[in-house]
Amino acid sequence: MFVTVLFALLFYVATAIFLVGLGMRIARYARTPAPLKIPTTPAPTTRGGVVVRMGTEVLLFNSLFKANKWIWLFGFMFHVALALVLLRHLRYFLDPVPTWVVLIQPFGMYAAFAMVIGLAGLWARRVFVERIRYISSPSDHLMLALLLGIALTGLGMTYLWHTDISAVKLFFTGLMRFELNPLPTQPLLLLHLFLVASLMVIFPFSKLLHAPGVFFSPTRNQVDNPREKRHVANVKWMIAVEKPAASADQ
């Protein structure tokens, strides 16, 4: 019971920090003006074009592909796998489990391996490629360790030390209704859950902000149409000198 209460609190707190922290960050990005037109050109000249550009960045890591095939390979592998694994986890939170979640289960199983390979590849580069080692701080290594820890403990439960999945599901669906159901006390499960909660807490304060950040990056999300449409923003320097300019018109 002690463990159940502890983990229930842990997940409430972690979820709150994750949602509020991320929400505040996103609000900040949205509120901050982009005073000038700075898309990296050649850039799309229409909104629709920008959606396509952003799509290729988010779904295919287009710029990264141009830059470096190895980083792209490992990074892409890791992220696609992560997405599949996250979707697969929906079955622990949704009742009844939607059909499409059932359908991706087999892919999800392999995805965990791809995730480990991707992370290991990225970490190997971080350690062995001199340039990347130079730009890494301890937090960059720890982040990979954390994700690898989550993936490996997860894999451990799938293949070696099984845990009572239906009890876990009852625990989480209970949390969503503010009810407490007992959580199995299997050590590997507790470690897995602890690492996931840590990731949620760290998310809004770390480089994981690249996930929302990419959508707000002016070099990627601006339309290249400065001559056709006057771009204005509410910043002091733009407004302040505006007055003499207007009087020059008279």
Partner 1 sequence: MANFETPELQETVEIPALKKGVMSHSRPFVSKEQFQAPLGFPGELADDWKDVAIAKLGELLKTNRALQVFMDSCVKCGACTDKCHYFLGTSDPRNMPVARQDLLRGVYRRYYTLPGKYFPKLVGATDLTEEVMDQWYSYFHQCSECRRCSVYCPYGIDTAEITMATRDIMNAVGKGQKYSNEIIGKVFKIGNNLGLPQPALEDTLLGLEEDVKDETGIDVRFPLDEKGAEVLVVTPSADFFAEPHIDGLIGYAKVFHAAGISWTLSSHASEAANFGLFIGSNENMKKIAMRIREAALDLGVKRIIFGECGHAWRVAYSYLNTLAGPFDFLDPRYPVPQHICEFTHDLIQRGVITLDKSRNDHRRVTFHDSCNVARASRMGDMPGGQFVIPREVIKAACNHFYDMAPETIGEATFCCGGGGGLLTDDLMELRVKGALPRMSALKQVVEEHEVTHMAAICAICKSQFSKVLPYYGFQMDQIISVHQLVSDAIVLDAQQ
The helix/strand/coil state of 93 is coil
- Using CB under 6 A as the binding rule, the residues of this chain from 118 to 157 that contact ligand HEM are 122, 126, 140, 143-144, 147
Spatial distance between the Cα atoms of 76 and 132, rounded to a whole number of angstroms? 18
Instruction: Determine if 208 is a binding residue for ligand HEM (CB under 6 A).
Output: yes
Binding site for partner 1 (CB under 8 A): 25, 28-29, 32-38, 40-45, 49, 57, 61, 63-64, 66-68, 71, 75, 122, 125-126, 129-132, 134-140, 142, 205-207, 209-210, 213-214, 216-220, 224, 226-228, 230-232, 235-238, 240-241, 244-245, 248-249
176 binds, among ligand HEM, partner 1, none (CB under 5 to 8 A by kind): none
Query: Burial letters for 67-88: b for 16+ Cβ neighbours within 10 Å, e otherwise?
Result: eeeebbbbbbbbbbbbebbebb
Q: Write out the two tokens for 145.
A: 């360790």
CB-wise, 127 or 176, nearer to partner 1?
Answer: 127
Q: Write out the two tokens for 204.
A: 């809004």
Residues whose CB is less than 8 angstroms from the CB of residue 120 and which lie 6 or more positions away in sequence, other chains included = 148
Supply the minimum distance, in Å, between the C-beta of residue 122 and ligand HEM: 4
Size of the site for ligand HEM (CB under 6 A): 17
The helix/strand/coil state of 166 is helix
Contact status, residue 26 vs residue 212, Cβ threshold 8 Å: yes
220 binds, among ligand HEM, partner 1, none (CB under 5 to 8 A by kind): partner 1
Rg of the chain taking only CA atoms, in angstroms: 23
Instruction: Give residues in contact with ligand HEM (CB under 6 A).
Output: 58, 61, 64, 71, 75, 78-79, 122, 126, 140, 143-144, 147, 208, 210-211, 214
